[in-house]
Amino acid sequence: MNAETSLKPDADAKSAPVQIVVFSADAGHARAIAREQDGACAIFDDLAKTAQHLMDIEDERAVLVVDLLGFSGDGLEELAESVAGHVPTVLICEAAQEPHLPEILLDAAFFVIHAPSSKGTVKCIIEAARKKAAQTRAAGAHYLKLLETLKTAETGKFVFRTIQEAETLARFLAYAFPDRAAAAKGLTELMRNAVEHGNLEIGFKEKARLIEDGMLEAEIDRRLADDAYQGRAAEAVLAKKPEGVYVVITDKGPGFAWSDFTKFSPDRAAYKNGRGIQLARLTCFDKLAYNEAGNQVTVFAATNHGPKDLT
């Protein structure tokens, strides 16, 4: 099925036109979604063609709607990679499907709608995503210019203080790596750790308790404003070498017993946290090494040559 374009009047078209890109395995459902929108829509039933279309219009504003009702197949990770960070994405799925969706797709989601939902709810959420796309277009253009700079840079030093800064920087630095999706996941885990466990000194068990109580974000905000921590900033240094890409992340904390967290521990199995370092080491990078204190970690991903020993 080729892209099907449906044009409708858009009050903001001249100032901020946004194309709604709909993927669905059900053509009837896709058309129903498109009919409810107030702007241009492109409909696809093929993930690869959807991703290609988004690449073709990368300089334009867009919202992606992914209807997963009745969908079974591969390709969702690749689609998520094509939109991560710059295309607001609305997912439509059954509640039972969500735990089985790729993490990178969920991370890219502006909103996840659980079916069944009313047409009004779906339209309202897509409209909110459309407004976000319009508002962030200028920032996106600036971001693309930064990415072009990153491609030619051999080294770079960056500082970050908050969780939001850590996550944004992680996604940005990931563009320097051979496997961007894996690097983004691993850098996000390690840079969040630099803020939470390093600069703000939130211990493993304390974080587990805060998560259980739903108070982690509030405690992070409290410590960021505390005189004891607010002057601390973590640092990430990027270095591109012939053998691959390195990032060194350093925080201002006292360090921790990092070796306990690089392998599986039955003692931590019942906790919701504590797996980020192990995940990064096993699935995201060729090498990961801490300094003795535990307040600096170096990661490496090979390009054309084998991984280099960091120890």
Do 178 and 45 belong to one domain?
no
Do 8 and 129 belong to one domain?
yes
Q: Which residues make beta-bridge pairs with 250?
A: 235, 296
Question: Predicted confidence band at 136 (pLDDT cuts at 50, 70, 90)?
Answer: low
- pLDDT, tens digit, 9 for 90 and up, residues 70-99: 887 777 887 887 776 678 889 999 888 888
Q: Is the pLDDT of residue 38 over 80?
A: no
The average pLDDT across 194-213 equals 88
Cβ 161 vs Cβ 231: under 8 Å:
no
Mean pLDDT of the chain: 80
Identify whether 133 is part of a domain. Answer: yes
The pLDDT of residue 138: 55
Do 203 and 174 belong to one domain?
yes
Do 227 and 286 belong to one domain?
yes
Identify whether 309 is part of a domain. Answer: no
Q: Round to the nearest angstrom and report the end-to-end CA distance of the chain.
A: 53
The total number of structural domains that make up the chain: 2
Identify whether 69 is part of a domain. Answer: yes
Strands of the chain (E only): list them: 4-6, 18-24, 41-44, 61-67, 89-94, 109-115, 155-160, 234-241, 244-250, 287-290, 296-302
Do 172 and 234 belong to one domain?
yes
Question: What is the residue range of 295's domain?
Answer: 153-302
Q: Which of 118, 141, 164 corresponds to the end of one domain?
A: 141
Alpha-carbon distance of 74 to 124, in angstroms, equals 29
Question: Predicted confidence band at 141 (pLDDT cuts at 50, 70, 90)?
Answer: low
Tell me which residue has tokens 């709608």. Answer: 113
Token pair, residue 267, equals: 């003692």
Q: Is the pLDDT of residue 7 over 50?
A: no
Do 9 and 94 belong to one domain?
yes
- pLDDT, tens digit, 9 for 90 and up, residues 278-303: 677 777 889 999 998 889 999 999 98
Q: Which of 85, 111, 141 corresponds to the end of one domain?
A: 141
Q: How far is residue 22 CA from its own chain's centroid?
A: 21
Identify whether 147 is part of a domain. Answer: no
Cβ 194 vs Cβ 232: under 8 Å:
no
Token pair, residue 300, equals: 């490496």
Do 30 and 50 belong to one domain?
yes
Do 32 and 127 belong to one domain?
yes
Residue 210: phi and psi, rounded to 5, are -65, -40
Residue 220 CB coordination number (10 Å): 20
Residue 196 CB coordination number (10 Å): 26
Question: Predicted confidence band at 225 (pLDDT cuts at 50, 70, 90)?
Answer: very high
The pLDDT of residue 50: 87
Q: How far is residue 216 CA from its own chain's centroid?
A: 20
Q: Is the pLDDT of residue 108 over 80?
A: no
Alpha-carbon distance values, 245 to 145, 190, 310 (Å): 21, 16, 12
Do 170 and 295 belong to one domain?
yes
The pLDDT of residue 119: 84
Q: Which of 111, 141, 171 corresponds to the end of one domain?
A: 141
Alpha-carbon distance of 177 to 173, in angstroms, equals 8
CATH code, domain carrying 246: 3.30.565.10
Q: Is the pLDDT of residue 308 over 60?
A: no
Alpha-carbon distance values, 291 to 232, 246, 295, 310 (Å): 19, 15, 7, 10
CATH code, domain carrying 43: 3.40.50.2300
Which amino acid belongs to residue 248?
A: V
Predicted structure pTM score: 0.55
The average pLDDT across 234-252 equals 95
Cβ 90 vs Cβ 133: under 8 Å:
no
Q: Is the pLDDT of residue 271 over 60?
A: no
129 versus 226: which is more confidently predicted?
226
Question: Predicted confidence band at 270 (pLDDT cuts at 50, 70, 90)?
Answer: very low
The pLDDT of residue 310: 52
The average pLDDT across 2-23 equals 53
Do 200 and 285 belong to one domain?
yes
The pLDDT of residue 259: 67
